[in-house]
Structure 1
Amino acid sequence: MNNGKVLIITHSEDNYAVDTVIQQIRRLGGSCVRFDADRYPVESRLSSSIINGQWQGLLETTEGTYTLDDITAVWYRRSYHIGKGLETLLEKEYLSSTLGELRRTLFGMLEGLKCFQIERYSVYRRLDSKEEQLRIARDCGLEVPATCITNSPAQLKAFLAGTNKPVIAKMQSAFAIYRDGQEHVVFTNEVTATHLDQLNELRYCPMVFQEKLEKALELRVTIVGRRIFPFSIDSRQLVDWRKEGAALADEWQPYVLPVDISKALLAFMDTYGLNYGAIDLILTPEGKYYFLEVNAAGEYFWLDKLCDNAISQHLAAVLLNQAERRE
Structure 2
Amino acid sequence: MDRIHLIVGNSRDYHAVAVQWAIRRMGHEAIIWDGLAADPHGQMSIAYENMSPLRLGPRLFNTFGSVWFRRQIPFQPIGSVHPDARSFLIQELTDAHLSFCASVESMSNFVIGGQRTRCASSKSYQLRIAQELGFKIPRTLISNNYADVMAFTKGAERLLVKHFAPHYFISRSTGAVRAVGPSVIRSEHLSPEKVEVCPCIYQEYIDKIYELRVTVIGSQIYTARLSSNVGELIDWRPAFGSARLDVEPFKLDRATDSRIRQLMARLNLPYGCIDIAVDRSGENIFLEINPGGQFLFIEEKIKEFPLLRAFASMLIAQSCDFQVNIDGRMPIDIDEFELSPEFDEWRVAYDKNASKNPKFVTFVE
Bucket of the pairwise TM-score, normalised by the shorter protein: 0.7 to 0.9
Tell me the distance in 2 between the aligned counterparts of 1:50 and 1:248: 56
SS in 1 for 2:285: strand
Tell me the distance in 1 between the aligned counterparts of 2:288 and 2:6: 27
Aligned partner of 1:24 among 10, 22, 27: 22
SS in 2 for 1:239: coil
**What does residue 73 of structure 1 align with?**
66
User: Which amino acid counterpart does residue 48 of structure 2 have in structure 1?
Assistant: I
How far does residue 55 in structure 1 lie from its aligned partner after superposition? 6.0
CA RMSD of the aligned region, Å?
A: 2.3
**What does residue 57 of structure 1 align with?**
54
How far does residue 85 in structure 1 lie from its aligned partner after superposition? 2.5
How far does residue 98 in structure 1 lie from its aligned partner after superposition? 1.8
How far does residue 127 in structure 1 lie from its aligned partner after superposition? 2.7
Aligned partner of 1:110 among 94, 97, 101: 101
Q: Are 1:34 and 2:32 counterparts?
A: yes
User: Which amino acid counterpart does residue 98 of structure 1 have in structure 2?
Assistant: L
Tell me the distance in 2 between the aligned counterparts of 1:269 and 1:95: 40
**What does residue 207 of structure 2 align with?**
214
Tell me the distance in 1 between the aligned counterparts of 2:60 and 2:261: 35
Say whether the 8 Å CA contact 1:282–1:289 is kept in structure 2: yes
Say whether the 8 Å CA contact 2:109–2:318 is kept in structure 1: no
Aligned residues: 314
- Shifted more, 125-134 versus 269-278: the winner is 125-134
**What does residue 293 of structure 2 align with?**
298
User: Which amino acid counterpart does residue 317 of structure 1 have in structure 2?
Assistant: S
Unpaired stretches in structure 2, ≥5 consecutive residues = 323-365
User: Which amino acid counterpart does residue 111 of structure 1 have in structure 2?
Assistant: A
Unpaired stretches in structure 1, ≥5 consecutive residues = none
**What does residue 8 of structure 2 align with?**
9
Q: Are 1:231 and 2:221 counterparts?
A: no
- The 5 Å alignment of 1:125-274 reads 125-161=118-154, 164-180=156-172, 181-192=175-186, 195-196=189-190, 198-235=191-228, 237-247=232-242, 251-274=246-269
How far does residue 302 in structure 1 lie from its aligned partner after superposition? 0.9
TM-score (norm 2): 0.79
**What does residue 85 of structure 1 align with?**
77
Query: In percent, how many aligned pairs have the same letter?
Result: 24
SS in 2 for 1:266: helix
Say whether the 8 Å CA contact 2:121–2:289 is kept in structure 1: no
SS in 1 for 2:177: strand
Per-residue CA deviations over 1:57-104 (Å, capped at 9, x if unaligned) read 0111xxxx2223221110110114x43321x42222222222222222
Change in Cα spacing, 1:165 to 1:68, as seen in structure 2 (3 Å) is farther
Say whether the 8 Å CA contact 1:142–1:264 is kept in structure 2: yes
SS in 1 for 2:298: helix
Per-residue CA deviations over 1:125-178 (Å, capped at 9, x if unaligned) read 2134211100100112211110000001111111111x5342100111112233
Tell me the distance in 2 between the aligned counterparts of 1:34 and 1:191: 42
Say whether the 8 Å CA contact 1:107–1:121 is kept in structure 2: no
How far does residue 241 in structure 1 lie from its aligned partner after superposition? 1.5
SS in 2 for 1:243: coil
Tell me the distance in 2 between the aligned counterparts of 1:93 and 1:103: 17
Q: Are 1:47 and 2:45 counterparts?
A: yes
Tell me the distance in 1 between the aligned counterparts of 2:243 and 2:13: 20
Say whether the 8 Å CA contact 1:3–1:320 is kept in structure 2: no
- Shifted more, 91-100 versus 258-267: the winner is 91-100
Tell me the distance in 2 between the aligned counterparts of 1:231 and 1:238: 15
Say whether the 8 Å CA contact 2:7–2:68 is kept in structure 1: yes
How far does residue 119 in structure 1 lie from its aligned partner after superposition? 2.5
TM-score (norm 1): 0.88
Tell me the distance in 2 between the aligned counterparts of 1:242 and 1:250: 9
Tell me the distance in 2 between the aligned counterparts of 1:309 and 1:4: 28
Per-residue CA deviations over 1:288-309 (Å, capped at 9, x if unaligned) read 1011111111111211222356
